[in-house]
Amino acid sequence: MISMLYPKMTRTRKVIDLGGMWKVYFGFENQGEDFSKGIPGKDYIPVPSSFADLYTEKKYREFCGDIWYETEFVIPEEWKGQRLEIRFAGAAHRATVYFNGRQVTEHEGGFTPFGADVSETAIYGEKNLLVVKVNTELRATSLPNGETKQLKNGTLMAIPYFDFYNYTGIQRSVKLVVTPFTRIADYDLTYEITGNDAAVNYRVLVQNLKENQEVELEIRDEEDKKAASVKGESGRAEIANVRLWQVRDAYLYRFIWRVWEDGKLVDEYEEPIGVRTVEISGTDILVNGKPVYLKGFGRHEDSPVNGKTFAPCYLKRDFELMKWMGANSFRTSHYPYAEETYQEADREGFLVIDEVPAVGFVKRSGMAMFQNAGSGVKPTSFFAADTTQELLENHVNVLKELVQRDKNHACVIAWSLFNEPESISEEASAYFKVVFDKAREFDPQKRPRTFAMELSSGPDAKCCHQYCDFWTMNRYYGWYVKGGYEISDAMIAFRKEMDEWASQDPVKPMVFTEYGADTLSSEHKLPSVMWSQEYQLEYLELYHELFDSYPFVKGEQVWNFADFQTVEGIGRVNGNKKGIFTRDRQPKDSAYLIKKRWEELPLDYKGGE
């Protein structure tokens, strides 16, 4: 078993970062060859990185197929007798790992951790060879979804069924984790709050636990005072006068897990944890029993040169900008983000809707992808294909890995299980039920579940939205639907749809997870036209007025935080320009409009209505 716990140095653990310049080989003409014992060539690339923006030749940026990576490192003799695990935080979209010439693991999915126990294959006191084959193709069974076609010159080309760039490669950290063979591998937490006190119900998984070994949980507060201490592999820890983790007012306890044997420490792992509860009641989203109104963004892991590589400086900058805006939330559109993002959200008190990379689950691509988005064009059943069962198995596995990785983060308040899928067919309904049921089964805290709906998933399409604990909406009235001078008609149609949602039984909380208009920061026009900053302002003001009109609307997450890269095409000017900030994180005029609004809206806005 590979642990999803974030790698940390403790008194019993070592973590060695294997990042740096790795040898790389792009299989332009040698797809299918085996380089598991060493790769040819003399090219090197940073690991982690998205390779697409590092080169100047287009053939590298658009490369689709197998990429081979290689590095060497020495494992000291004194580590013999301990468990050695090579852990990848993410490699898109599928990876096969070879250690000293032997295959040790393979993994499908680009955004969740995987790895291998290499204790038996390691060569101690000498260099060890690590080779990784990463396949970047999009398939009918992959998350995110798409296809790969062959051009007439023999080159493979990825065709995404989604509107963001298909950055790939070893895009997140690679680490060697050294632990005892008896080790803390996982834990579950749930909470009960009574008055000023909290009960922490826990279950910890210890691999290779012996009969004479004892498990302990110690909880310490931010002043390093002991708040609770209990023993056993499962149980209940009582925290008196608890400081709850609150929205934009985070408080983190240190949860320290230990395994003892005859008074000697065998293993130790600790993590900062916020104590809080989340639930849906009527049309309210409740955190610690109190209503919250979500203010924030749909975002992307996307920045110049880095692509989707985790970039600590951009992480810090993005959170500072979101705080400046008065935001309190974001959705990880459209895939699990790097683990460090959730750690920062825990520290800053941000609410996160955590999304599975189930995007592109509709039969459209290229220009049609965004020409029909939000247009009400009803796609044919996506889930009636021969490949659906394999897709479902991949979907459930990625969901399981996501929940296992993120289940103990206080910031994660909900799971988003799809983005803009086909959701109107009987086949979709059967597929959705499995995924929604699995989300409930996997999550000890039973967080609310949802999926982001585009316009064909309207109030009259009752095949799938009934599975949601709350509704999340992606709407583009005034952009993809009746944009420009027709925007007055667009808003009439929008209100008509909202009135139909208001007549549903039951009415659930609604959060707008996407709404926006492409805007070039260089464009000003009076009177406004589409793509100008003035039009973006007018568009947003109309949406704000509508949000305020419906008491069950309990959140707004504008699309997008910042401009981001997409495939090239006549509908995109070097990327999607719906950002409130430019790709290099400079504000457009709309940032000041939204900042003023969000700073004035109370946290419990429309609570209890």
The residue whose two tokens read 């940026």 is 61
Mean pLDDT value across residues 214-222: 98
Distance CA 288, CA 509 (A): 17
pLDDT tens digits for range 480-507: 999 999 999 999 999 999 999 999 989 9
Indicate if 282 and 297 belong to the same structural domain. yes
Distance CA 78, CA 503 (A): 68
Ramachandran region of residue 603, left (φ > 0), alpha (ψ -120 to 50) or beta? alpha
pLDDT tens digits for range 388-435: 999 999 999 999 999 999 999 999 999 999 999 999 899 999 999 999
Answer yes or no: is 18 within a domain.
yes
Quickly state the pLDDT bin for 593 (edges 50, 70, 90): very high
Mean pLDDT value across residues 530-536: 97
Residue 27, helix vs strand vs coil: coil
Ramachandran region of residue 282, left (φ > 0), alpha (ψ -120 to 50) or beta? left
Q: Given this model, what pLDDT does residue 432 score?
A: 97
Backbone torsions φ then ψ of 138, nearest 5 degrees: -95, 140
Mean pLDDT value across residues 179-195: 97
- Domain with 455 in it: what CATH number? 3.20.20.80
Which residue out of 108, 422, 514, 556 is catalytically annotated?
514
Answer yes or no: is 251 within a domain.
yes
User: With 80 as the cut, is the pLDDT of residue 378 above it?
Assistant: no
Q: How far is CA 14 from CA 9, 35, 172, 180, in A?
A: 5, 30, 19, 10
Catalogue the E-assigned strands of 459-605: 471-474, 510-514, 553-559
User: With 90 as the cut, is the pLDDT of residue 380 above it?
Assistant: no
Indicate if 64 and 189 belong to the same structural domain. no
Measure the N-to-C terminal CA separation of the chain; round to a whole number of Å.
47
Answer yes or no: is 350 within a domain.
yes
Residue 44 tokens, joined:
């090197």
Quickly state the pLDDT bin for 373 (edges 50, 70, 90): very low
Out of 133, 151, 179, a domain closes at 179
User: With 60 as the cut, is the pLDDT of residue 563 above it?
Assistant: yes
Distance CA 600, CA 594 (A): 10
pLDDT tens digits for range 113-140: 999 999 999 999 999 999 999 999 999 9
Indicate if 408 and 286 belong to the same structural domain. yes
Q: Give the contacts of 225 (CB within 8 A, at least 6 positions apart).
A: none
Nearest to 235 by CA among 269, 188, 195: 188
Answer yes or no: is 608 within a domain.
no
In whole numbers, what is the pLDDT of the chain averaged over residues?
95
Answer yes or no: is 324 within a domain.
yes
Indicate if 546 and 573 belong to the same structural domain. yes
Nearest to 205 by CA among 159, 259, 125: 259
Nearest to 302 by CA among 68, 52, 90: 52
Q: How many CA atoms lie within 13 A of 454 on its CB side?
A: 25
User: With 80 as the cut, is the pLDDT of residue 200 above it?
Assistant: yes
Query: What total of structural domains would you count in the chain?
Result: 3
- pTM of the complete model: 0.95
Indicate if 168 and 106 belong to the same structural domain. yes
Distance CA 112, CA 115 (A): 10
Residue 3 and residue 205 in contact, taking contact as beta carbons nearer than 8 Å: no
Quickly state the pLDDT bin for 463 (edges 50, 70, 90): confident
Q: How far is CA 446 from CA 140, 190, 449, 509, in A?
A: 30, 9, 9, 17
Distance CA 445, CA 401 (A): 16
Indicate if 195 and 87 belong to the same structural domain. no
Q: Give the contacts of 595 (CB within 8 A, at least 6 positions apart).
A: 324, 325, 326
Indicate if 579 and 533 belong to the same structural domain. yes
Residue 451 and residue 416 in contact, taking contact as beta carbons nearer than 8 Å: yes
Distance CA 101, CA 103 (A): 7
Q: How many CA atoms lie within 13 A of 62 on its CB side?
A: 16
* Residue 348 among the catalytic residues: no
Answer yes or no: is 466 within a domain.
yes
Residue 22 tokens, joined:
């790795």
Indicate if 321 and 246 belong to the same structural domain. no
pLDDT tens digits for range 270-320: 999 999 999 999 999 999 999 999 999 999 999 999 999 999 999 999 999
Answer yes or no: is 8 within a domain.
no
Out of 256, 273, 290, a domain closes at 273
Indicate if 485 and 568 belong to the same structural domain. yes
Beta pairing, strands 449-453 & 20-26: unpaired
Q: Given this model, what pLDDT does residue 30 score?
A: 65
Residue 141 and residue 77 in contact, taking contact as beta carbons nearer than 8 Å: no
Residue 114, helix vs strand vs coil: strand
pLDDT tens digits for range 103-113: 999 999 999 99
Quickly state the pLDDT bin for 461 (edges 50, 70, 90): confident
Which residue out of 420, 422, 454, 556 is catalytically annotated?
420
Indicate if 159 and 192 belong to the same structural domain. no
- Domain with 200 in it: what CATH number? 2.60.40.10
* Residue 600 among the catalytic residues: no
Indicate if 428 and 539 belong to the same structural domain. yes
Range of the domain at 195: 183-273
Q: Given this model, what pLDDT does residue 608 score?
A: 80
Answer yes or no: is 609 within a domain.
no
- Domain with 35 in it: what CATH number? 2.60.120.260
How many other CB atoms are there within 10 angstroms of residue 430's CB atom? 14
Say which residue, 298 or 379, is predicted with more confidence.
Answer: 298
User: With 80 as the cut, is the pLDDT of residue 256 above it?
Assistant: yes
Indicate if 388 and 497 belong to the same structural domain. yes
User: With 50 as the cut, is the pLDDT of residue 374 above it?
Assistant: no
Distance CA 452, CA 474 (A): 6
Out of 249, 273, 297, a domain closes at 273
